[in-house]
């Protein structure tokens, strides 16, 4: 009975330790150097677009991937690569998912990519990432307002996890997404919000 009680106590303490895991710094200069890969289970890309003036309709893109190599001594030179599967539209309605994805012509343009060209910010964790967004066969510069949410060990003490929040606004017409239906029923401006976590390889 004592052994069982000790085991339960150890489990509770272990779970408690995981629950209180939190970033230990928001200073980019204190983040360990290395290769970082996107944790796809803790990554989201949300898109908002005005629908006929009635709502800011919201959908998700689930097919995300990304990586970067980091050097705290030269963090402003960090190059971020991010990809999105244009078929991965998620509105909780399969037929509507396919309709929206169809506007992106995913068979012709199978990947949405973002490759950073510059990174700016400070020790407060606020900054921006500018890069080339290739979407629907068109490449244009885009700047994301980014908050570095912090770095820490995450759930276990042996790894390193980074978190970022970002947002930008693009115009669908800049990427050739036009036509009677889109122009009549949706705004040209599209808000893009990302919440991502990366793990050290």
Q: What is the pLDDT of residues 93-144, one digit of tens each?
A: 999 999 999 999 999 999 999 999 999 987 688 999 999 999 999 999 999 9
Start-end of H helices in 20-158: 94-103
Tokens (6 digits) for 34:
């290395």
The predicted structure's pLDDT at residue 10 = 45
- Those residues of the chain that have pLDDT short of 50 are 1-2, 4-19
Tokens standing for 191?
A: 């808000």
Architecture of domain 2-200: Beta Barrel (2.40)
Under DSSP, the state recorded for 63 is -
- As a whole number of angstroms, the distance between CA 124 and CA 128 comes to 12
Do the beta carbons of residue 56 and residue 49 sit within 8 Å?
Answer: yes
Can you give the residue ranges of every domain in the chain? 2-200
Which residue in 43, 16, 25, 15 sits closest to 160, CA to CA? Answer: 25
130, HSE (Cβ side, Cα atoms, 13 Å)? 8
The mean predicted confidence, pLDDT, of the chain is 90
Give the Cα separation of 150 and 25 in Å (integer): 5
């Amino acid at each position: 009975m004592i052994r069982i009680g000790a085991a339960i106590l150890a489990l509770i303490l272990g779970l408690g330790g995981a629950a209180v895991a939190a970033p230990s710094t928001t200073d980019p200069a204190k983040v360990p150097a290395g290769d970082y890969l996107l944790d796809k289970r803790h990554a989201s890309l949300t898109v908002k677009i005005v629908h006929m003036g009635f709502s800011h309709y919201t959908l998700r893109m689930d097919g995300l991937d990304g990586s970067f190599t980091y050097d705290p001594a030269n963090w402003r030179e960090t190059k971020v690569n991010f990809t999105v599967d244009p078929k991965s539209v998620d509105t909780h309605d399969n037929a509507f998912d396919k309709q929206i994805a169809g506007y992106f012509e995913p068979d012709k343009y199978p990947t949405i990519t973002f490759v950073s060209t510059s990174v700016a910010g400070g020790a407060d964790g606020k900054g921006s990432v500018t890069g080339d967004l290739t979407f629907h066969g068109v490449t244009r510069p885009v700047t994301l307002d980014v908050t570095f949410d912090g770095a820490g060990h995450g759930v276990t003490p042996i790894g390193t996890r980074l978190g970022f929040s970002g947002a930008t606004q693009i115009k669908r017409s800049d990427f050739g997404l036009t036509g009677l239906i889109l122009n009549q029923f949706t705004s040209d401006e599209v808000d893009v919000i990302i919440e991502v976590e990366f793990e050290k390889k």
